Amino acid sequence: MRIATWNVNSVTARLPRLLSWLESSGTDVLCLQELKCAPEAFPTEPLRELGYESAVVATGRWNGVALVSRVGLEDVVLGLPGGPGYPQDEQEPRAVSATCGPARVWSVYVPNGREVDHAHYAYKLRWLTALRDAVTEDAQGLLPFAVLGDFNIAPADADVWDRSVFDGMTHVTEAERAALAALRETGLEDVVPRPLKYDHPFTYWDYRELGFPKNRGMRIDLVYANAPFQKAVKDAYVDREERRGKGASDHAPVVVDLDLDLPHE
C-alpha cells in the first residue's frame, strides 16, 4: 500500500501534474493540502475516472484539504473536532479524516502562524492542541493510523537549510516544536527520518531566490504514525522530482510504502 501527502498549492493549477503523478506513482491514498478551490471546483470527476474517491473540505480561499483514495473511503470526518476558528468561531477547512482500506488517515493543513506576535500564531498553537486531543484515541489504537500533511513546523534545526535565517520567525519556535512533541506523546512517531537519498529531505522550497536549485528548503510536510502503522513501513521518501519544472507546487510529495493487505475488489 502506498500513502502520500502533498501540498499542491492550488489543485486546479496543479491538476495535470496531479493526475499524471497519481498514474505514474501508483499511490493508493493521497492527502492533499492548500486546495485553493471551492468544493464544486474540486476535480472529483477526473479523479473518479482514475479510480479514486474523494473527501473534500474547502471554502474556495487559500486553504482546503482532501483525501483521495482508490482503496476505500469510509467513516469520513470533515473538519477538526473541537478545533478553534479564526478569526472568530468559524472553522477553517484544515482537516479531513477517513478509513482507507486497512488504515485510518488524516490529511491536515496546520495554520501558518504568520508572525510570532500575530493572533494567527496563538491560533496555530490552539489548533495543534485540538489536533492532539482529536487523534489520541486512534493513535493508541490497534488500527494502523497516521496524520499526514503540511504542519508548517520544522521539527528540528536540521530540517531547515539555515537555522540562523529563521531567528525570531515562526516554524522553528520552541512553542511550535513543543506542540509537535505533545502530538507525538499520544503514541505517534515521525515516519520519514530514516536513511534517504538526500542528506536533508526537505519538502518545501520557496519559489523566490532560486530556493529549489540552491536546496534552500524546509521539512514541514510530515507523516506522524502510530505503532501498527510504523511496523508496516517498508520505505519513505520525498519525491523531489515532482518539485522540478514549470508549474510545480512549492512542496514535494512525501511518500510512504506499507506492507498492509489491501481490500479485495
200 belongs to the catalytic site: no
Q: Which residues are annotated as a binding site for Mg(2+)?
A: 7, 34, 150, 152, 250-251
d(CA 120, CA 264): 45
Mark the binding-site residues, compressed into ranges.
Answer: 7, 34, 150, 152, 250-251
Among residues 28, 52, 86, 109, the one annotated as catalytic is 109
Active site residue 251: yes
Catalytic residue among 28, 237, 251, 257: 251
Q: Which residues pair with 57 in a beta bridge?
A: 65
Interatomic CA distance for residues 172 and 156, integer angstroms: 7
Q: Respond yes or no: is residue 109 known to be catalytic.
A: yes
Contact 221, 251 (CB under 8 A): yes
How is residue 26 written as a grid cell?
501508483
Catalytic residue chosen out of the listed positions 28, 52, 138, 150: 150
Q: Which three cell numbers stand for residue 231?
A: 511496523
Q: In whole angstroms, what separates CA 2 from the centre of its chain?
A: 15
Question: 3-class secondary structure for 149-209?
Answer: EECCCCCCHHHECCHHHHCCCCCCCHHHHHHHHHHHCCCCEECCCCCCCCCCCCCEECCHH
Active site residues: 109, 150, 251
